[in-house]
Structure 1
Amino acid sequence: MNFSRARLLCFSALFVLSGAAWGSVDNVGTYNLILKNDLSTSSDIEGRIMIGGNINGSSTDVGSRIPLDADVDAVTVVGDINAPSLKAQNGHIVYGGNANTNNIITNSSTGQIIKEDQSLLQTRFDEIFQSVIDDSYYYKNLAANGTFNTSDQNKKLFDSDATDELLVFNIDGDDLRYGGLEFNFMPSVPIIINVAGTGELNINAKAQGNYFNKDTVSPLVLWNFYDYTKLSFNGDGWNGSVLAPYADISSYTGSLDGGIAALSYTGGVEIHNKLFTFEPNTAGPKDEEIPVPEPSTWLIFAGGFWLLFRQYKLNSARN
């Protein structure tokens, strides 16, 4: 890569980052899985993953439902790859630690295996995970415009007649331990469900009625477990994306349909790439404006250098 292109890439990166607030950083609308710590799984993950710790467990396939794109990383892991086999069906595999296996595969014609500077990957990851924390905090403080009726424990109903572009429900985690969950309307706009509670939550509640429509409803729903430290998804699995920035998550039954952001994940079920793509508008009316921190100078330059270094590695690998 010549100097003029390198300089252009770097300046472009600085321009983009200098004007970006945390809310614009990649999140569960970009990644199928974002984990601060380790991933341990024996099943496929259809979308992109960003792992701050290590990838452990059995053989894992990633990225079967992402576009074939020469610029997309299917796997980004700051730490080590300890799984006996790791395959990216589309996109690149990028790691910062050690690859403790000889069986790392990129299945597409453009996919590459790239070793990058771990400190730069850590900076990028910290930025993304901060957006997870900020989004979770923002959502939990939104006013509810829907109700949750638990009079029939076998058919707990979400209901709203609001015409807003975003529906918000506040519920208690104990209501997810058993029973059925259903929308009393056909969801057509994004939905935030804030779940109050702390500690450990074993979830056995099952989707019913309109909520069971995974293809159309799951991408519209985001569950915000903003204070929990451990979540176990049981029963038929789970529909909808999950924000749980302080929780370790496990699941061994059904499937998980949506993006997941958490401390760690251990499981044996497929994670489907049905992402919640709503972007929160953190700046409301002027007198109610919520301050969103801008990236500091060092982060702007680190981000610009990371993109420059990333392009250099790709070009070097191709040549």
Structure 2
Amino acid sequence: MSTISKSSALFLLPVLLAAGSAQAGVLDLGIGGANLYSLGNFSASGSDVEGAVLVAGNLSASNYAINGKNKDAYGGYSLVVGGNLNYSSGSIKHGQYYIGGAKTTSNVGFNSSTASSTLPLSFAATANQVKQTSGALSHVAATASSSVQYGGMTLTGSGSGVEVFNISGASLASVNHFNFGSQLSKHETLIFNISGKDAIGFNQNGVGLDGFKDYNVLFNFYEATHLNLQNVGVYGSLLAPLATVTGGGGQINGNVIVGNWASNIQVNASRFFQPTQLGGFASAVPEPESYAMLLAGLGLIGFMARRKARARSGA
């Protein structure tokens, strides 16, 4: 059997790596159009999620409404629960619902929603994918900058159309308003990679977030294990796959992906994150072009190995 030398392998390594790094990846949250996805459990009362809800573990809710805006996930599901459902005094509207474990309900209206025996996704695979997305996104180089002064954070872009900011959870929690500076245009994509395992979230004394209404926004709390949201109005999607989210009051307008949901804040089915091309981002699922480059690299390895073997045999 022919072999390839270490020097040749090192020469070809960039060819193989190019399959995953040379091109921009598509940043897509990959949760089938759901409004809220919990990788663990869900517990809430006295509020609602306007779109579809996915819960890998158990769901416990009272005086709660789901999918009032008829924003189904995975082609027609309003609610998917991998574990047990304990639900009182509420409603599940439109689409189908799937319950993997025991179902206990009282005074729950299943308005135009019907039971399904088919699980529309793999919770394990989806959890792995969103964690990979959050982690990979955190390594994308910043294209924009931020500065804090007099209680406000000024955001300065690069004019690239997709801006990446790297900020700390402490900085985010310290400000009460945002200034949108130069080189930022409305309808651009703004991505915030927010560091800190115990990121408190947004300023709990009232923070002005209305300016984000004009942008496609994703807040990536890639390290946070606890995220508290209290009386805030968030315009943008939250990606916090390791975090237990607590708090109440206010609203989130966008997609929400969390480790566990233990909050009464309202989640609205608006301003969902729009998939976008992002330079330096390695998407969790390789694109067809990446496969083609990988196969080309493997073919080149085989060709060089065969040529070396012929040279040794004198052919």
**What is the TM-score when the length of structure 1 is the normalising length?**
0.71
Alignment of 1:252-263 (within 5 A): 252-263=248-259
Q: Looking at CA atoms only, which structure, 1 or 2, has the larger radius of gyration?
A: 2
2:152 aligned residue (145, 155, 177): 155
Taking the aligned partners of 1:107 and 1:176, their CA distance within structure 2 comes to 40
Is the contact between residue 161 and residue 189 of structure 2 (CA under 8 Å) also seen in structure 1?
yes
Q: What is the deviation of 1:165?
A: 3.5
Taking the aligned partners of 2:27 and 2:81, their CA distance within structure 1 comes to 22
Alpha carbons of structure 1 residues 68 and 197: separation in structure 2 relative to 1, 3 Å: closer
Alpha carbons of structure 1 residues 137 and 104: separation in structure 2 relative to 1, 3 Å: same
Partner of 2:264: 268
Partner of 2:3: none
Q: What is the deviation of 1:46?
A: 0.6
Alpha carbons of structure 1 residues 130 and 254: separation in structure 2 relative to 1, 3 Å: same
1:51 aligned residue (42, 51, 55): 55
Is the contact between residue 222 and residue 276 of structure 1 (CA under 8 Å) also seen in structure 2?
no
Structure 1: gaps (5+ residues): 1-20, 295-319
Secondary structure at 1:30 match in 2: coil
Report percent identity of matched pairs. Answer: 23
Alignment of 1:89-168 (within 5 A): 89-108=93-112, 111-116=113-118, 124-152=122-150, 154-160=151-157, 162-168=158-164
Taking the aligned partners of 1:228 and 1:221, their CA distance within structure 2 comes to 18
Instruction: State the AA in 1 paired with 2:186.
Output: P
Q: Is 1:242 equivalent to 2:241 in the alignment?
A: no
Partner of 1:80: 84
Is the contact between residue 96 and residue 116 of structure 2 (CA under 8 Å) also seen in structure 1?
yes
Q: What is the deviation of 1:128?
A: 1.8
Partner of 1:197: 196
Is the contact between residue 214 and residue 257 of structure 1 (CA under 8 Å) also seen in structure 2?
no
Q: What is the deviation of 1:55?
A: 1.0
Taking the aligned partners of 2:48 and 2:281, their CA distance within structure 1 comes to 41
Is the contact between residue 229 and residue 265 of structure 2 (CA under 8 Å) also seen in structure 1?
no
Secondary structure at 2:129 match in 1: helix
Q: What is the deviation of 1:89?
A: 2.1
Secondary structure at 1:150 match in 2: strand
Taking the aligned partners of 1:137 and 1:271, their CA distance within structure 2 comes to 24
**What is the TM-score when the length of structure 2 is the normalising length?**
0.72
Taking the aligned partners of 2:218 and 2:281, their CA distance within structure 1 comes to 23
Alpha carbons of structure 1 residues 96 and 104: separation in structure 2 relative to 1, 3 Å: farther
RMSD over aligned Cα, in angstroms? 2.9
Q: What is the deviation of 1:203?
A: 3.2
C-alpha offsets along residues 93-128 of structure 1, whole Å, 9 cap, x if unaligned? Answer: 1111111124443312xx312244xxx56x611222
Instruction: State the AA in 2 paired with 1:156.
Output: M
Instruction: State the AA in 1 paired with 2:139.
Output: N
Partner of 2:186: 187
Alpha carbons of structure 1 residues 248 and 289: separation in structure 2 relative to 1, 3 Å: closer
Instruction: State the AA in 2 paired with 1:114.
Output: S
Is the contact between residue 51 and residue 71 of structure 2 (CA under 8 Å) also seen in structure 1?
no
Taking the aligned partners of 1:69 and 1:140, their CA distance within structure 2 comes to 27
Structure 2: gaps (5+ residues): 1-24, 287-315
Q: What is the deviation of 1:139?
A: 1.3
Instruction: State the AA in 1 paired with 2:131.
Output: I
